[in-house]
Amino acid sequence: MANETSPRLALPFLFAAQAQKEVFHNEALSLLDILVQANVQSAVLTTPPVSPALGQCWLVPPSASGAWAGQAGSIAAWTSGGWRFIAPFEGLRVHVADEGCAHVYLSGAWVTDAVRTSGYYVAGVKVVGAQQAAIAAPTGGSVIDTQSRAVLGSILTALHNHGLIA
C-alpha cells in the first residue's frame, strides 16, 4: 500500500476489507492522545521514572539511559504496553510541566519557547519581564523641567528593566 499512515502525525489509515480495523483505529487514537495538546512532565529527566502513570510523557534528553537510551529527542510515553517513543516533527509544540512553558521542535532540536512565565525571550535573551510599578505622573507646574526629567528617567529605567533597551 502506498500511503499507510498520515503524513504529519503518522496515524495509521484504515483500508477496505482490512482485518482487525479496531487495532489500527486504537493505534491512531493512542497517537492523538499523546500528540494533541501535548504535555510532558519534564525535558531533563535522564532515567525513566520508576512508577509513571498511564499517559504521562517526557522529552528524552541526549544523555538518557535505561529504557530511554538511544531515544534522544523523542517523546517517551508510558502506555499499558510499556514505553512508547514518538519521533518529533518540525514545529511540534509541547508543554513542559516542571518548567511551566512550552518547548518547540525546530531544525532537529527542542528549544524553549519565547513565552515563559518569567517573561518573553528573543534568541534566549529576556526582552520583557514582570510588570513593574506604575510611573508617577508629573504634578503641579512650578518645576515642570525637573518633573519631566524625573518621569523620563523613570520611563527609561522601566524600559531597561524590561530589557527593551540596553
Note the pLDDT of residue 161.
80
Task: State pLDDT tens for residues 141-155.
Answer: 666 677 788 888 888
Record the cell numbers describing residue 40, joined without a space: 510532558
Question: What is the four-CA torsion angle of 64, 67, 70, 73, rounded to 10 degrees?
Answer: -60
Q: Is 156 exposed, middle or buried (0-12, 13-18, 19+ CB in 10 A)?
A: exposed
Q: From the CA atom positions of the chain, what is the Rg in Å?
A: 25
pLDDT per position as a tens digit, 3-21: 787 777 777 887 888 788 8
Residue 83: CB atoms within 10 A of its CB come to 17
For the chain, which residues make up each domain, given as ranges?
1-36, 39-113, 119-161
- H-type helices in the chain, by residue range? 21-35, 144-161
Q: Average pLDDT, stretch 58-77?
A: 96
Q: What is the pLDDT of residue 72?
A: 96
| Residue 86 CB contacts under 8 Å (≥ 6 apart), including other chains | 31, 34, 35, 74, 75, 77
Residue 25: phi and psi, rounded to 5, are: -65, -45
Q: Is the pTM of this model over 0.75?
A: no
Q: How far is CA 145 from the centre of its chain?
A: 48
111-165 confidence digits (pLDDT tens): 999 888 778 888 878 877 777 777 666 666 666 677 788 888 888 888 878 777 7
Please check whether residue 25 is in contact with residue 36, taking contact to mean a CB–CB distance below 8 angstroms: no
